Each structure stands twice: as structure tokens, then as C-alpha cells.
Structure 1
Amino acid sequence: MIIRRVTFAPIAMAAASLFLLSASAPAQRSIDGTYIDQGGYVEITVAPCGNARCGDTTRIVRTKPGESNRDRHNDDPSLRNRPIVGVEILQDLRWDDGAWRGRVYNPEDGGTYRAEVRPAANGALEVKGCVTLFCRTVTWSAAR
């Protein structure tokens, strides 16, 4: 009688490797939805745009004191008279290394910055904009 010794070590190691890989790479989390900016002034709707995600202003909740409903701080003078509603705030967000990464346009200063976006508690959205090493993070609450 021949006894074959079956070893499960290679199978167990492969399974453990797959588990570790999936545990170390955070699962892609949806950011699609409608949010209110940190000041409560505009509503931004995040949705697919091609193979990425984008966020457009969809409604003015209340007018900021001293501001118009135009994109008057835009770096491009030809865009300074366009309405804020419809402006793409989050641009070309793609899932990469545990966050949505792309660009964010700030109508308060007319600048476009490198962005990192993540879902936050209570359905909110954490938006971080960076220039070189300097970053600012804001939280947009879920629209109700």
C-alpha cells in the first residue's frame, strides 16, 4: 500500500496571500450623491462622467454675503460672468490607493487644486485640496 502525503501548504499560502492583498487594498467606496458645501451655500452633485467621477454645482442654497451667483473669481476672465450653477467643482476623480483623486475647483479664489476625496461619517464627503505640500480639508454634508 502506497501512502501519498498531500501537503496543503502551497494552497494555504496562496489563499493567505490573496487575503492579505485584499485586506491591504481598501475597497473602492462610492461617492456618488448630493452634498452641501462646508459653508452651506451650494449643493454639489457627484456622479459618473466617463470613466471618472465629477461634481457639479446643482443649486444655490443661499447666497454668500458680498458674493454674486457668478464665477467672478475665476482665473480665466472670460469665465467670470458664468453662473455658479453648473460649474464643475470636482474634476476627473479616479479611484487610486484608497481615495478618489483628481482636481477640485474653488470658486472662492478661482483656483484649481490637486484633490483627494473620501466618504466620511453620516454620508458626508471629505474633500482635500492641495498645492505642493499645503493642503486644506473640508467636509461637505449629505444633502437631505
Structure 2
Amino acid sequence: MIRLALASAVAIAALPNVTSAQRSIDGTYLDQGGYVEITVGPCGNSRCGEITRIVRRKPGESTRDAHNDDPALRNRPILGINVLQNLRWDDGVWRGEVYNPEDGGTYRAEVRPAAGGGLEVKGCVTLFCRTVNWRVAG
């Protein structure tokens, strides 16, 4: 009986803990509208997502960071901007910040893998959140 209990405990301990297993988000994605390509990868001890290619211009938008809250940054190109910043694995999700060049705001972010290999990106300010899905570039 003791052997059975010990064997059961060892077997349970050897099972992977799916809920706490860190899931990779590294890869290259297209934003919700297919306008820019974002590459997610290591950035020090966290993960970042950089705009690595402008696929097509959004009607009425510049390729500059025109809406940035900091006037000194409004003329910089959006190509090369980290839109995902300081992402760290925390309680089953990647948490950090997301910068939105369309409105110049930086928001609390939760990022997780989505269906088809894409990413689900949720940005929040206070209690209000918006979720978008990025698909795999390719």
C-alpha cells in the first residue's frame, strides 16, 4: 500500500503543470489590419515586440510616430519602435506594456498565444481593455 501511494505521488509530480508552463510568444506577426510586421523576441530579461516592416500604409497615417505623447518623438519613424515592452511571464500570461502608434498611448498589456500560432494582445487603461489578434506573418 505504501509503495502504491509513493508510486502515485511520483507519477503525479512528473506530470507537466500545463497551467503554469511558460508558453513561447517569440515569432513574427502581422498586426490586426496587416499594416505592420512585429517581431517578438528576447529583450534582456523580458520579451519585446519591434515593428520590423511596414507592409502597407494605413490610409491617412504617416510612417512617423506622429501621435506620440512626447512632441520630441513625433518625427521618429515607426519602423524600429518597440510596441511590446517589458513582457514577463506572470501567472499564465505575458504581462508588460503595449505602445499604440495610432494614438500615442502606452497601456498595460497581457499577451498570450492564440489559435493558429498568432498572438492575442490585450491593452488596458484603468478598467477598460481592448483585445486584438495578430496573425503569424508569412
Using structure 2 for the length normalisation, give the TM-score: 0.91
Residue by residue over 1:26-49, the C-alpha shift from the partner in whole angstroms, topping out at 9 and shown as x without a partner, is 311111100000011110000101
SS at 1:69 equivalent: coil
Identity of aligned residues (%): 72
Structure with bigger gyration radius: 1
Match of 1:105 in 2: 99
Q: Is 1:138 aligned to 2:138, yes or no?
A: no
Match of 1:3 in 2: none
Residue by residue over 1:99-129, the C-alpha shift from the partner in whole angstroms, topping out at 9 and shown as x without a partner, is 1110000011100000000111111110000
CA RMSD in angstroms comes to 1.8
- The count of residues paired between Structure 1 and Structure 2 equals 138
1:60 pairs with one of 43, 54, 74:
54
Q: Is 1:22 aligned to 2:50, yes or no?
A: no
Bigger shift: 38-47 or 11-20? 11-20
2:76 pairs with one of 60, 74, 82:
82
Using structure 1 for the length normalisation, give the TM-score: 0.88
1:32 pairs with one of 26, 33, 47:
26
Amino acid at match of 1:66: G
Bigger shift: 27-36 or 12-21? 12-21
Shift of 1:8: 3.3
Runs of at least 5 residues in structure 2 that lack an aligned partner in the other structure: none
Runs of at least 5 residues in structure 1 that lack an aligned partner in the other structure: 1-5
Amino acid at match of 2:69: D
Structure 1 distance, partners of 2:4, 2:44, is 44
Q: 1:19 to 1:133 in 2, by over 3 A?
A: farther
